[in-house]
Every structure is written in C-alpha cells, then in structure tokens.
Structure 1
C-alpha cells in the first residue's frame, strides 16, 4: 500500500470533480443497456420508496446516491463498481483502466462462465508471446474461479436495502479499523485521503451506528491508497455475505479481462471489443427468447 503524496491528492480531488454525477450517468447507461424498467428495478429491492428509487436514476436529482445502493445495483446487474467509472474524468494512471476496458466490463458483466471463457480465449489468440506469458503467470497467481458467480453468489430476488446497507457499512467500519492498524495510519490521515472531516471519519468506523456514504469515499479509498480492488471492503459482511463472495469471483474475472485487454495490441482492441459486445448481446437475446 502506498499513499498518494499531498500534491497528488490535490490532483485527485480535481480529477474526481463531477465523479458522482458521472457515476449516476453510468448507472442510467447500464440500466438502459440491460433493459431495466422502474417496475423491474422496484421488484428487486425492499425498504426503499419507489419514488426515491426512480429519482436515483435521474441525473438532475442532486441528492447523493449512497454507496450501498450502488453496490446493490452492481450486484443485480452483475457488474463491478469500476463499471460506474465509465466516462468519469479519471486518468488511466490512477485507475489503471482505459475506456475500452471499462466498456468491456459493462458488456461482459452478466455472462455466465462458459461465455466468459470464450471471450478470454478470443482475446488470448491476439496476444503476442510476451502478453500470453504475462497472462499465463497471472492465471497461476490468482484463485481458481468457482464459476458460482451466476448461481450461488448471484443476487437474491429481493434485496432488503436497509439490512444490506447496515451490513455493508459495518463491514466497511471493520475494514477501515483493520486497514488503519495494519498500516499504522492515524484517523486524521484516513480522513484526509478519503476527503472526510475527522468527525465524519469517526462515524465511518462506528460499527454500532452504520451511516450511508457516498461512492466518492469508496473511489478515494481505492485511488488514494493505490489499492488494486474494492474486494476487501466487504470481507466482514455478515448479512448478504454472498455479495462478498460474488465480489471475490468478480475480482478474478475483472483482473483477467483487464490484463488481457491491456496486453492486446491497440490496433486489435476495437475489433475485440466488438466481439465481446456480440457475445454479450447474443447471450442477452437468448434470455429473452
């Protein structure tokens, strides 16, 4: 773990301007792309007013969308949180993903493991020898995929957002305390990196009083401490623990896909992205039959 220096944290603040608005626009894009309606969305969540749920997907609605809601939405859409960075003004050096990789993640999200394996094999064919060697080594270093992402670890038919949110923020509180102790960081340092006041950070660590947070906090945690993923954030979830398992499986898939695309020659990327879109569309159409 390495903390961005002060000047880079200042730059991060500038780069993250409008991040939440971009995240909302990305949610709207995913909602439209996957064919969700207000009715089908409302059927998947409890403990939220239908009117508020609709407003969450209205870009002009100025209230912050809580982090746990975006996490729950990412679960039912089977997409990583990074998918909601699409279009955000974050340079590749911070997130390590170019727009084509994010676009691919959006299209591959709901694919079961059979189609996912087809996509990876397709990309692999176009890698040079160094790229293939790098990817082979990465595969050896990662946990084996269980292929339960679309079965045992899939989102339940209805997510109770109150229960899910409380479990999510308690897990984040435990993770924050453990992370701070492991790296010998003060609450003041944590607050600075996350863009919070010292009081707000103390609230974040209070397991007995879980409070909603903005998606911006999650993004700053990942980018400010230069973490490779969001997976550890949910390690301590008790209720809806399947969400954490889903995240783990998804993290491996994302690493394989993103690294494959990074190693792909630029001249081949647009065509391979179109292949991914084609496979994703064919799968989506098969569900509609």
Structure 2
C-alpha cells in the first residue's frame, strides 16, 4: 500500500489478479477437505453437528464436505463451522495442506491443536510455562520477544469461556450479523484505501453487481468463502478478522478470532523451539489435554 498526501492508496496489478485466479481454482475442494479433516479429527458425527446448529441440516453440511460437490461453500457457513469446532477460520483455507497452518508441527501435534479450542486459558499458560522452562536462555529471550510483540498487537490471552459458541447456533441469525458486518467494514476499508468497486470486485472474484450487494447492509445474500481468502491475499492483510468487527448479535465470534490467533501462535512458537527429543513427550502431554476437552 502507498500513500499520496493524506490518502492511502492500494495498487493492484493485473498479474496479481491473474495469480489469485490461478491459486483459487481448487479452493472449493480445499475447503471441503479441511472441513472434513476437522470433523474426523474431533470425532464429530453429522448427527452431533446437527444438534449444534439450527437452520441447516446434516445432509447439507455433508455436501459441503464432499470434494465432488460443485456449488460454492458460503463464507458464513465456514465461519459458523469454525466457531462451533473452535478451529481458526483461516485454517480451513489450506485444504490438504491444513498442517501448514500449524507450521513445523508433526501430525500428532496438529491433531491435538485442532482439538484444543476449549482448553482453559489457565491450563494453556501452565503448558506454555512448562515448555518455557525447558528452553535455552537464547530461545527464552526470543520467545518472550515474540510473545510481547504478538500480545501488543492482538491483546494478552485471557479466559475465553464467554466466547464459546451458543449451545445451538442459529445459522440464519449468524448469517445476517456476519454479512452486515462485512458490508460495513468492506466499505470502510475500500474508502480508506481509495479502492474502486471495479478493482475490489475483481480482486475478490465477484462481479461489480455482486460487490455492490456485498456492501449493502440491507441485503443478506450468501457469498463464497473464497472472498475471505482472496481479500487476505489480494489486499496483503495479516488477517481478515477485522471484517467481522461490526458483528452486534454475535460479537463473541470476532473476539474469539483474535484470541485464537494468539493462543495458536504461542503454542506453535513454543513447541517448535523444543529440541526434537523433547517435542515428542510434550506433544503427548498436548494430546492428553486435547482428549479432556473434545
């Protein structure tokens, strides 16, 4: 992003848009694979998932998790599913490469991390302290620096029991709140960076008409999950969580996304600093903890 005078300007090249179009060709398949992987890892049946939502049935969710299903996966469905499973929304964009989201972790550690969304903050801090005590002085200093920088940007990790999803999430109410927030924040973002509707629509893969609908707070129309990933890549954002910051019915969802980012980042950073022979036993501790909170 550049600045001219007092105005921020985002310049997007044709090459960047072409690259995005190429990257997104397998997006629907990636989403289905990741959603299915999380369901299997958490040992959730479709019957159990049905009980966690109202307004969507198990058969519809099953179709979204099938690679052969050609229709789009709506972004509000992926968001709601990420909340119910307590897995960061961005992780679902990775598909077969979901393990890359948890960089440097082995299969066992990744599966444990996917099941740790409900782990109490006090227990998480105790686990981090255990790892910290095993690090060299240099690694301790580097980890502390990483943690301070992360928490200065996103806030310190805190008790998130009040950010858990409702026992039964109303998918229609969630969709209304989600898309209204996107409409408000997308328009603010576009105006702040002097981005035209034509550029914004091409960047996130919508027609100009669809983009106008996206920014209309009075029209609730399901949009493809790909718009989130394209926005993150195309606008070069560290996160697209700000687009949920205007949610009023379910503000806990937005807050949780920030908390999840801090929790997961700290766990992965701490684990990767262990020596190989230390990481295995600590991963077993992590797996034991994950079993308690599935």
Regarding TM over 0.5, the answer is: yes
- Give, in angstroms, the shift of residue 240 of structure 1: 1.3
Q: Which position in structure 2 is the counterpart of 1:192?
A: 202
State how far apart, in whole Å, the 1-side matches of 2:293 and 2:145 are: 35
Instruction: Trace 1:211-250 onto structure 2 (pairs within 5 A).
Output: 211-250=221-260
Q: Which position in structure 2 is the counterpart of 1:100?
A: 105
Question: Which of 273, 276, 288 is residue 282 of structure 1 equivalent to?
Answer: 288
Instruction: Trace 1:23-42 onto structure 2 (pairs within 5 A).
Output: 23-42=31-50
Q: Which position in structure 2 is the counterpart of 1:272?
A: 279
Q: Which position in structure 1 is the counterpart of 2:94?
A: 86
Distance 1:258 1:223, change over 3 A: farther
Q: Which position in structure 2 is the counterpart of 1:178?
A: 188
When the two structures are aligned, how many residues end up with a matched partner? Answer: 278
Runs of at least 5 residues in structure 1 that lack an aligned partner in the other structure = none
- Aligned residues of 2:28 and 2:67 also touching (Cα < 8 A): no
Q: Which position in structure 2 is the counterpart of 1:146?
A: 158
- Aligned residues of 1:111 and 1:280 also touching (Cα < 8 A): no
Return the TM-score normalized by structure 2: 0.82
- Aligned residues of 1:176 and 1:205 also touching (Cα < 8 A): yes
C-alpha RMSD over aligned residues: 2.9
Which of the pair has more CA radius of gyration?
A: 2
Q: Which position in structure 1 is the counterpart of 2:5?
A: none
- Aligned residues of 1:3 and 1:226 also touching (Cα < 8 A): no
- Give, in angstroms, the shift of residue 258 of structure 1: 4.8
Residues 47-83 of structure 1: per-residue CA shift (max 9 Å, x gap): 1234323322333222222111111111111110122
Distance 1:89 1:280, change over 3 A: closer
Q: Which position in structure 1 is the counterpart of 2:54?
A: 46
- Aligned residues of 2:116 and 2:290 also touching (Cα < 8 A): no
Q: Identify which range, 240-249 or 153-162, moves more after superposition.
A: 240-249
Runs of at least 5 residues in structure 2 that lack an aligned partner in the other structure = 2-9
- Give, in angstroms, the shift of residue 105 of structure 1: 4.5
State how far apart, in whole Å, the 1-side matches of 2:253 and 2:214 are: 20
Q: Which position in structure 2 is the counterpart of 1:202?
A: 212
Residues 213-240 of structure 1: per-residue CA shift (max 9 Å, x gap): 1111100111111111132111000111
